[in-house]
Amino acid sequence: MPQNNTLKGNHANSELTGEEWPQSKASKTISQDLASLQWRPGPLGRAISSGSLLGTKAFHDDHAELDTKPGTRVYHRRWLMLFLFSSVSASNAFMWLQYDVISNIFMNFYNIGSLAIDWLSMIYLLTYIPLILPVLWLLDNRGIRDVVLVGSAFNCIGAWIKIGSASPNMFPVTFFGQCVCSVATVFVLGFPSYLASVWFGEDEVSTACSIGVLGNQNISGNSRG
C-alpha cells in the first residue's frame, strides 16, 4: 500500500504540464523563504522579522549619511585675521573724524570756515552711496582678501597725501586725500559679518562680528566724544 501511494504521487507529479511545473517550483521557493524568516519581539513588543531589521538598518544608515553635514574648518590664525581687519577699520575711522575733533585749530591753520571742515567728514557718507554696489560685486568675484587689501591701500595712500598737505595753502590737497580715505571706507565698513561667516564657526560668528564692528565704532564714538 505505501508503495502504491508513492507511485501514485510520483505519477501525479509527472503529469504536471510545462507551464504548471515552474509555478509549482516558484511557490515552493516562496514558502521556504517565508518559513526561514525568524520573528522576534521588537523594542515596543511588536514582532520584527530579520528582513525588517535589515531594511530598518539600511533606512537609518541612509538617513544618517544624508543628515551628516561637514563642519566648518577653522584655523588658529582666524583671530589674527580679525585683529588685522579691526586695525584697518579703526585706522580708517581715525581718518574720518580727525579734523572734526580739533576743528578750530584746522580752521585757523588752513584759514577756512566750519563748512569746509564739515565736508571733510561728510565726504565719507557721499562716497559710500555710489561705490557700495561695485565693491559688493568685487567681493563676490574676488573674495574678501582682495577687497580688504584694496581698502587698506586706499587708506594708506590717502593718509600719505594728507601728511604731504600739511601747509596752510594746501587745503585742496587735504580734501583730495580725505576723498581717497573715504573710498577705503566702502571696502572695510560693511564686511565684519562676511569675515565672521568665512573664517569662524557657527558658535563664534556673533562674537567675531561684534569685534570686527567694534574696531570702527569705538574709535568713531571716542572721536565724537
Q: Which amino acid is at 87?
A: S
Q: What pLDDT score was predicted for residue 159?
A: 94
Domains of the chain, by residue range, sit at: 78-224
Which residues are CB-contacts of 61 (< 8 A; sequence separation ≥ 6)? none
% the chain with pLDDT above 70: 64
CB 200 within 8 A of CB 184: no
Least confident of 34-38, 131-135, 210-214: 34-38
Question: What backbone torsions phi and psi does residue 40 show, to the nearest 5 degrees?
Answer: -145, 155
Task: Indicate the pLDDT class of residue 202, thresholds 50, 70 and 90.
Answer: confident
Residue closest to 157 by CA, chosen among 135, 173, 133: 173
Q: What pLDDT score was predicted for residue 145?
A: 87
Residue bearing cell 598737505: 165
Q: Which three cell numbers stand for residue 207?
A: 562674537
Query: Tens digit of pLDDT for each residue in 143-194?
Result: 888 998 999 999 999 999 999 998 999 999 999 999 999 999 999 887 888 8
Task: Indicate the pLDDT class of residue 117, thresholds 50, 70 and 90.
Answer: very high
Higher pLDDT, residue 26 or 137: 137
Q: What pLDDT score was predicted for residue 137?
A: 92
Residue closest to 187 by CA, chosen among 122, 132, 142: 132
Radius of gyration of the chain, Cα coordinates, nearest whole angstrom: 39
Q: What pLDDT score was predicted for residue 39?
A: 46
pTM of the model: 0.62
Q: Which three cell numbers stand for residue 221?
A: 564714538
| CA dist., res. 186 & res. 179, Å (int) | 12
Residue bearing cell 511545473: 21
Query: Tens digit of pLDDT for each residue in 28-79?
Result: 555 555 455 444 554 444 444 444 444 444 444 444 444 444 556 777 888 8
| CA dist., res. 48 & res. 97, Å (int) | 75
Q: Write out the CATH class of domain 78-224.
A: mainly alpha
What is the number of alpha carbons within 13 Å of residue 11 lying toward its C-beta?
6
